[in-house]
Each structure stands twice: as C-alpha cells, then as structure tokens.
Structure 1
C-alpha cells in the first residue's frame, strides 16, 4: 500500500509531465495558436474568478465572525474551495484548469468538501489534544533581586 506522502510526491512529479503531454496533444488537434489562446483565456478567467471569490470569502468570513451568519462555516469553506479552484485556473495547464473549473460549481464542491474537511479535522484534532488544561494556573510576577545586579570591577585591567 502506498503512503499518502508517497502518493502526493508522485502526483507532484507526474502533474507537470501530464500537463505538457496534454498541451502537446491539444496543440496537435486544435493547432498551436488556439491551444495557446485557450491557455491564456483560462489564466484571465482564473484571475477574474480569484478576485471575485476572494471578495466573497472575505464577506462570508466577516459575516460569520460578526455573528450575522450562524452556519457551521460551510459557506466559508465552500468559498475557500472555490478560491482554490480559481487559483488552479491561473496555473498554466489544462488538467489543473479543468479541476479549477469543476471546483467553481457548487455540486462538485459539496461532493469534495466533506472528504477534505474530514481529513483536515482528523489532522487538527490530534494536535489539539495537547492544549487541554492540565490543572491549576499559577500566575507569577518576576521581581528582580537587588543583590543580583552586576557590580563594577574594582581591579584595573592589566596592560601588556
């Protein structure tokens, strides 16, 4: 069985190679100019969507912090996932672009979000147990000891 870290390493290594293969295959089918124009169009679409999604996430976060929205944070997390999708559209490549485009649709985000939040919750949950209270809190004030101040040397330095 492959560990998760090994799988991530394989994906990170294979993705640029797959992106290049996809670019060349589309270039052979559609022509280089149209493939290049599509790649640039995905970049501009991703840039516009990133600005739009960033503002939406900021508004959703602010409304949930102020207390106007008492949901469980699914609106903010769905917006963050759409923001990640917009970032994937900005990256050059048609595979990342198609994944980013899919993440712009709410039904896809509702399918992906529970799996991601389950993984993150299990990782953060194991770390959070270290910060439980361990007993009484002892509050102390540090007072300098007047006898511990450095005193000037009474001997004169030696000259060579």
Structure 2
C-alpha cells in the first residue's frame, strides 16, 4: 500500500467507524450495539493475552520456525487481538479476518520477502539473587572513588589545570 494512501485512510477510519455505529445501532438497537462492541473488545483482550503467553513460551523454548514464521503468525494473532480491542465494527471485522488461517498465510507470503529474522547471541539468566547475568559477563563495572584515577595524558597540556572537554573545542572549558 502506498504511503500516500495510508494517512488519509487512518484519518478517515474514525469517521467510517462512527458511521458504522450509527448504521448498526439503527438496525439492532443501541444496547445490542454497545454489547457487541464490548464483546469484541473483551474477546480481543483474551486473544491477546493467550497469544502473548503462547508466543513467550515458544520463544523461551526456542521453538521458533527457521524463517520466523511462527513469530510472524503469533504477531499477526496479536494484531488481530488489538484490532478487536479497538472499539468499532470495521476494525473488529479486520481483526476477525486476520484470525482466518488463509488470511494469515496470505499476509505471511506477502511479508516474507521483507522480513529478516535474526537471533540474538546474548541470553540473560537470572541468578539466585535475582540479578541479571549474561554469558559474556557484566557490561557495567562499578568502581569506588579510590579505585578510579585518570592518566596524566588526559590533563590539559597548557598546564592550566582546568577541566577541558574534547567536545568543547579549543580553548573552551566545562563549567562545573
């Protein structure tokens, strides 16, 4: 879809949703319309929670597909849940359409050439104390005041003894 069309569609969506509320409300009544919107939102929340937990378990177990297909399918389920949560009949219809396996496979086939899946080589594990440890070791080194010193090379060569920043430019100093 062209980026020129995306902005007008996003801006027109609320107007179309309001028009659908009016049309559906005239057909089935206000109470039934409100119940339908609430049911759609509630169903979307349940779907997002279920799919999010399922995706998290799959990622932790390393059960993602070789090309990331499982992750993308899970994300499409999450998008379908989000569309169901958004109040409105058009977004709910799009969310329900996205729940169909045929629609998801079509989207995956069209998105697949543009998707790059990489795996991180760094994994985090929690120690018994609850701290996060990595396989490669800590990335932050905590030093006390007595353990840190500056080399002589970092002092200004003009002998002024003032703290100069390498980013401040020549003759400029740090206020502080």
TM-score (norm: length of structure 1):
0.70
Q: CA RMSD in A?
A: 2.6
Q: Secondary structure at the match of 2:99?
A: coil
Unaligned runs of 5+ in 2: 117-150, 163-176
Partner of 2:23: 25
Aligned match of 2:169: none
Greater share of helix: 1
Aligned equivalent of 1:76: 71
Deviation per CA, 1:7-31, whole angstroms, max 9, x where unpaired? 1011101111111111110001111
Deviations 1:80-120 (A, max 9, x none): 11101101100010110111112122222101122233345
- CA 1:151/1:9 → structure 2, altered by over 3 Å: closer, same or farther? same
Q: What residue is the counterpart of 2:153 in the other structure?
A: 145
Are 2:1 and 1:6 aligned?
no
Residue number among 90, 96, 102 corresponding to 1:95 in the alignment: 90
Is the 2:65–2:71 contact (alpha carbons within 8 Å) kept by the matching residues of 1? Answer: no
User: Which residue of structure 1 lines up, in the alignment, with residue 108 of structure 2?
Assistant: 113
Moved more, 99-108 or 75-84: 99-108
Gaps of 5+ in 1: 122-142, 154-160
Residue range with higher mean Cα deviation, 85-94 or 101-110:
101-110
Deviation at 1:69, TM superposition (A): 4.8
Describe the shift of the 1:146–1:13 C-alpha distance in structure 2 as closer, same or farther (beyond 3 A): closer
Higher relative contact order (CA 8 A, sep 6+): 1
Q: Cα–Cα, structure 1 residues 110 and 147, in superposed 2: closer, same or farther, change >3 Å?
A: closer
Per-residue deviation, residues 100-159 of structure 1 (Å, max 9, x unmatched):
1121222221011222333456xxxxxxxxxxxxxxxxxxxxx65166265359xxxxxx
CA apart distance, 1:71: 2.5
Structure 1 residues 16 and 70, CA, compared in 2 at 3 Å: closer, same or farther? closer
Taking the aligned partners of 1:89 and 1:105, their CA distance within structure 2 comes to 14
